[in-house]
Copies of this chain bind each other. A is one copy, B any other.
Amino acid sequence: MLDQTTQMNLLYDFYGTLLTEKQRSLLELYYVEDWSLGEIAEHQGVSRQAVYEAIKRAQSTMLDLEESLGLVKSHLKRQQLIETIKSRLDQMPEAAKAIGPLIRELEKLD
């Protein structure tokens, strides 16, 4: 189970481009810059409640997108499989040489 901040960060990595510019700046302040609701409210000249509701709406949009597309779920499964492949390759130097770089390319695509 992921904690809520990790989950939101992952959702944001995958779906951030589908949010509005305004939603993106809000989530960046809250999750990346770690501002409090009160600090964001003061900075934007709106109420703390308005900030809270805007964050909830953005989160809900991302959760709906995940429900439809499941990108975070697939990403986590792929990551797990790639880790297992890499640890098996550690014990097979010849295969690691032939396949390791391709696995790393696969990993970078995520």
Contact = CB atoms under 8 A, between A and B. Distances in A.
B74 A102 contact: no
Contacts of A99: 85, 88-89, 95, 99
Interface string A78-94: 10011011001100101
Contacts of A105: 81
Q: Specify the main secondary structure of chain A where it touches its partner.
A: helix
How many copies of this chain are found per oligomer? 2
A4 interface: no
Given A17-B68, A68-B18, A106-B106, A92 B81 contact: no
B81 A106 contact: yes
B18 A109 contact: no
